[in-house]
């Protein structure tokens, strides 16, 4: 069974601080995909990044960066110089490839990030 | 970005009502999904459709009835719901397996 653990329920930081959101996953699949989504108060889940299990390169996109380490089954997300607009719930998710088509996302419980002035 | 739309955005219904949630995707995707998000619970996958065929029913009670008339539209028909069914219902779509799922804004449902 797949499992995604986001141990940090809520994080509060002051604007311009760096913050790292942790994600640990469990799967028996050799091929899988990892995702991060952002959910602002409006409710819509906004896609941030997808990483496949064969690509362990870290990625940077503006103030966002991701650290994927298969050895520790972790896929952590860092926001540099946080801003108030970053306040949201962030979800890490794991996808298994399914023979029936489509894919099944297993989500973590989310981390509520609050960025204050 | 309005790739996936959902209507209505908010819905209040009694336990004896019948209502339907609608999802439409404009991304040319082949797979569509319904998720339920309750307070303090992880997102729960409810149904998966691929090329209009249901490929997964995640032990969802029969008071929730999905319908997928084509690859662009997905409905969730609701009848005789319970107060514990109050939640945010999210629709998503993806191109193929392993591909990114794109979500709609959700319908906030309150069952009285």
pLDDT tens figures, B37-92: 998 788 999 999 988 888 878 889 999 999 999 989 999 999 999 999 999 999 99
Residue A83: phi, psi to the nearest 5?
-130, 160
Give the pLDDT band of residue A101 (cuts 50, 70, 90): low
Give the pLDDT band of residue A59 (cuts 50, 70, 90): confident
Q: Flag whether pLDDT at A76 surpasses 90.
A: yes
**What's CA B53's distance to the chain center, in Å?**
15
Distance in Å from the first CA to the final CA of chain B: 33
Total CB pairs under 8 A between chain A and B: 70
Q: What pLDDT was estimated at residue B106?
A: 96
**Distance to chain A for B24, nearest Cα, Å:** 15
Considering only CB atoms, B98 lies closest to which of A47, A95, A100, namely A95
Per-residue CA distances from B43 to A71, A106, B20, B84 (Å): 27, 8, 20, 15
Greater pLDDT, B52 or B34:
B34
Q: Is A112 exposed, middle or buried (0-12, 13-18, 19+ CB in 10 A)?
A: middle
Give the best residue of B7, B43, B103 to mutate against chain A (max A CB count within 10 A). B43
**Distance to chain B for A29, nearest Cα, Å:** 12
A33/B98 touch (CB, cutoff 8 Å), yes or no: yes
B31/A91 touch (CB, cutoff 8 Å), yes or no: no
B43/A91 touch (CB, cutoff 8 Å), yes or no: yes
Q: What pLDDT was estimated at residue B90?
A: 96
The percent of residues above 70 in pLDDT, for chain B, comes to 97
Q: What pLDDT was estimated at residue A100?
A: 54
Give the pLDDT band of residue B98 (cuts 50, 70, 90): low
């Amino acid at each position: 069974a797949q499992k995604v653990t986001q141990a940090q329920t809520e994080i509060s930081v002051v604007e311009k601080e760096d913050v790292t959101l942790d994600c640990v996953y469990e799967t028996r699949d050799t091929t899988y995909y990892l995702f991060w989504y952002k959910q602002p108060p409006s409710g819509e889940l906004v896609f941030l990044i997808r990483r496949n299990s064969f690509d362990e390169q870290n990625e940077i996109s503006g103030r966002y960066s991701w650290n994927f380490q298969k050895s520790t089954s972790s896929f952590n997300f860092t926001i540099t110089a946080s801003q108030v607009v970053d306040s949201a719930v962030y979800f890490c998710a794991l996808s298994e490839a399914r023979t029936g088509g489509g894919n099944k996302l297993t989500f973590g419980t989310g981390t509520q990030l609050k960025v204050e002035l | 970005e309005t790739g996936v739309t959902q209507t209505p955005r908010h819905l209040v219904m009694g336990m004896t009502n019948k209502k339907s949630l609608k999802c439409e995707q404009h991304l040319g995707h082949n797979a569509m999904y319904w998720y339920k998000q309750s307070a303090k619970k992880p997102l729960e996958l409810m149904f998966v459709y691929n090329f209009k065929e249901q490929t997964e029913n995640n032990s969802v009670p029969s008071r929730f009835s999905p319908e997928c008339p084509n690859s662009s539209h997905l409905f969730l028909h609701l009848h005789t719901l319970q107060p514990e069914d109050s939640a945010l219902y999210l629709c998503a779509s993806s191109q193929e397996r392993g591909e990114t799922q794109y979500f709609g804004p959700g319908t906030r449902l309150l069952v009285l």
